[in-house]
Chains A and B, each alone.
Chain A
């Protein structure tokens, strides 16, 4: 009798627990703990952190885009910006934001994973709600990302976020050296994001870029380290606040103390044809 009563009580508790589990809309313990503040391991100025900057990246560019890249390097050597456009505070875009220029926060929710970088318009949304590619969407520097959480070892917990990103606009480059992506913006980027198996203070992002400027997909692995402080300080970054670079016509200039200045030797001044030249010049 006692045994039967115990069985009933046990059964009721199991039912209660199942109800609790069902009423819980989101069990965050099924997802990897990506909370906190992350910083890239290695130099964020390079797309492949294991190789040297610029030509040292050995990007598998087609001859046409290799020539564009080299012309860009010459322009940068002469004081220009080449193909790297972030000097005007436009977003670095994908895949360059994976370089991790600022403090990184990863926020995991069942429907969306947010990867937010304190830099220039670098915040990504990765939709994990099972949606398909929309028929139409406005191209962006960051693209449109759809992800799937995978439980690779069948232990009931997700351990890999697989992401595909499409729908880009340009111009975009891989890093500050100006390695270009194709101007058709038909890039497809696949990522695998996961915590390091032996060190949960590290996460990896395997980034595979397929692009018509490349002879084959370019695959690099990025690694990020979690700041030990669980209440980290987040610094607000506003690129426009202190940016002294501006583009007029096809030239890039800078403004110092309110004065327009050249950025390279013998640079021509802007064309002032729209001004009444008899007027006195401003600051």
Chain B
């Protein structure tokens, strides 16, 4: 009797300690460790939001007439040496969601039970937190370029392993654009971005992100499928982009200038006026 009780206590204790120790069974989650790079389909131009189509007009984005005109103005400004709606290059700004997931640089994904971190390297470090701890939308949250993301892991085939991360992201600020031609999102920043992140069924080295953008600048939800390939190196390199330290672009007011190799101001277009120097005492007109 005493022996049976002691066995029961021992077994109970052992199982309890295993249950406690097993705080995070990472085998339940897909192995997303490593460095991911976008699959470049090379449809023409710089990386595009819909990777199957060329950037800019080639995207055939379902823009409203008002925002189609804004995009055309951006293209015209860029043709004249300006940056248009694309603030990422000239100002070292983040592209913001959903363009962040174009993965201009390396992407790293760190999965924990309560949060999935997406670390992006472009211009600077950008960091998405996708909360998977069951929280609801906060009543108040400061808008951001990456937005506030809530996700849910799904075990689609009942195998006991999660194979799909569904994410919804809201609470944005601008300016944001979808590609370097300045393909715009609405100035109201009311975008909703829904994502489905999953491994390719035939090729486990490929990860997909199906992104649906719902935005008042568009006539309908726009869904694109992005793909990423894992860096096969044992110890892949994580670079540290330093846009601020290396950029030669200088924005003064609405005028974009360029820095020469000796870091003096240069115009970016023909007959561009120099900056107003009237605040300088030693300036002579």
Contacts and interface: CB of A to CB of B under 8 A. Distances in A.
Interface of A: 3, 6, 9-10, 13-14, 17, 20-21, 23-29, 88-91, 107, 109, 111-112, 114, 116, 120-123, 125, 127, 129, 131, 134, 137-138, 140-142, 231, 233-236, 238-241, 246-250, 255, 258-262, 266-277, 279-283
Contacts of B201: none
Interface string B253-285: 111000110111111000111111111111100
Given A24-B27, A26-B24, A121-B124, A258 B265 contact: no
B166 to A, nearest CB: 20
A260 B264 contact: no
Given A141-B242, A283-B254, A274 B266 contact: yes
7 contacts: A10-B7, A24-B26, A235-B144, A239-B244, A248-B250, A258-B254, A281-B277
B18 A17 contact: yes
Interface residues of B, number: 74
Given A114-B110, A234-B129, A272-B265, A260 B275 contact: yes
Contact of A231 (B133, B240, B250, B282): B133
B265 A116 contact: no
B26 A25 contact: yes
A252 to B, nearest CB: 11
Contacts of B265: 248, 270-272, 274-275
Interface stretch (B45-53, B217-225, B231-239): B231-239
Interface of B: 3-4, 7, 10-11, 14-15, 18, 20-27, 33, 91-94, 110, 112, 117, 119, 123-125, 127, 129, 133, 135, 138, 141-142, 144-146, 235, 237-240, 242-245, 250-255, 259-260, 262-267, 271-283
Contacts of A233: 138, 141-142
Closest 5 CB pairs of A and B: A258-B253, A283-B253, A89-B244, A236-B144, A282-B273
A137 B240 CA distance: 11
B3 A6 contact: yes
A241 B276 CA distance: 22
Contacts of A236: 127, 142, 144-146
A272 B11 contact: no
Interface of B (DSSP majority class): loop
B275 A282 contact: yes
Contacts of B33: 109, 111
A17 B3 CA distance: 21
Given A134-B235, A259-B276, A282 B240 contact: no
B282 A116 contact: no
Nearest to B17: A17
Contacts of B254: 258, 283
B94 to A, nearest CB: 6
Given A241-B93, A269-B280, A121 B266 contact: no
A259 B260 CA distance: 21
A230 to B, nearest CB: 9
A134 to B, nearest CB: 7
A17 B20 contact: no
B252 A240 contact: no
A266 B272 CA distance: 27
Given A17-B18, A21-B18, A107-B112, 19 more contacts: A10-B11, A23-B27, A25-B26, A26-B24, A29-B23, A114-B110, A114-B117, A116-B125, A127-B235, A142-B240, A240-B124, A249-B264, A259-B253, A270-B275, A270-B277, A281-B273, A282-B272, A282-B273, A283-B253
Contacts of A26: 24, 26
B244 A238 contact: no
Contacts of A281: 273-277
A107 B115 CA distance: 10
Given A10-B11, A107-B112, A121-B125, A240 B255 contact: no
Contacts of A250: 263
Contact of A138 (B18, B27, B124, B237): B237
Given A116-B127, A248-B263, A261-B279, A137 B252 contact: no
A61 to B, nearest CB: 24
Contacts of B4: 6
Contacts of B138: 233
A13 B11 contact: yes
A260 B276 contact: yes
B252 A283 contact: yes
Which of A116, A121, A276, A283 has the most chain B CB atoms inside 10 A of its CB?
A: A121
Contacts of B277: 260, 269-270, 272, 281
A271 B266 CA distance: 10
Contact of B235 (A131, A280, A283): A131
Contacts of A248: 250, 259, 263-265
Given A239-B244, A275-B272, A282-B252, A123 B127 contact: yes
B24 A28 contact: yes
Nearest to B25: A24
B110 A275 contact: no
Contacts of A131: 235
